[in-house]
């Protein structure tokens, strides 16, 4: 559905530490040696896969990064336990609670999700749904 997600950062080291910890819970690993000739940043993806990718980077235009009101990045998890682990790790790394782990049947049968904001205010969702990994 998408090739990559770009998340702007003001405090790059803090954001990289946050996403290393949180995305590691979801089975993503940091991309080594990636250089797009742009500003400093880091990327993650599933082991053995090239796409999709997630990047945290200083903005290309040189202006400070800001969070988008109404924007959310949602990450697929392989189980409700993984949803809970990613959310707990996000809060432990300086994220903010936007909705604890739990079922949300209003979205679909079997939907289990959790919501938070990263240390710079970007809204994240971790979700497990029955047909997501088919």
pLDDT tens digits for range 31-62: 976 666 778 899 999 999 999 999 999 999 98
Cβ proximity of 113 and 83 under 8 Å: yes
For residue 83, the surrounding DSSP H or E stretch is helix 80-92
pLDDT digits (tens, 9 = 90+) for 89-116: 999 999 999 999 999 999 999 999 999 9
Q: Per the structure block, which two tokens stand in for 21?
A: 């910890």
Q: Which two tokens stand for residue 51?
A: 């796409």
Weakest mean pLDDT among 14-23, 36-45, 76-85: 36-45
- The top-level CATH class assigned to 5-128 is alpha beta
Tell me the pTM: 0.91
**Residue pair 78/10 in contact by the 8 Å Cβ criterion:** no
* Domain layout of the chain by residue ranges: 5-128
Task: Note the pLDDT of residue 33.
Answer: 65
């Amino acid at each position: 559905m998408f090739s990559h997600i770009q998340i702007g950062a003001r405090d790059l080291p803090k954001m990289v530490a946050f996403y290393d910890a949180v995305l590691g819970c979801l089975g993503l690993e940091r991309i080594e040696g990636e250089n797009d000739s742009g500003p400093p940043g880091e990327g993650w993806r599933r082991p053995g896969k090239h796409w999709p990718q997630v990047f945290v980077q200083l903005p290309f235009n040189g202006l400070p990064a800001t969070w988008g009101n109404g924007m959310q990045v949602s990450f697929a998890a392989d189980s409700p336990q993984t949803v809970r682990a990613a959310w707990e790790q996000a809060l432990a790394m300086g994220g903010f609670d936007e909705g604890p782990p739990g079922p949300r049947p209003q979205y679909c049968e079997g939907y289990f999700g959790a919501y938070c904001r990263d240390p710079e205010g970007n809204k994240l969702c971790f979700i497990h749904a029955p047909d997501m990994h088919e």
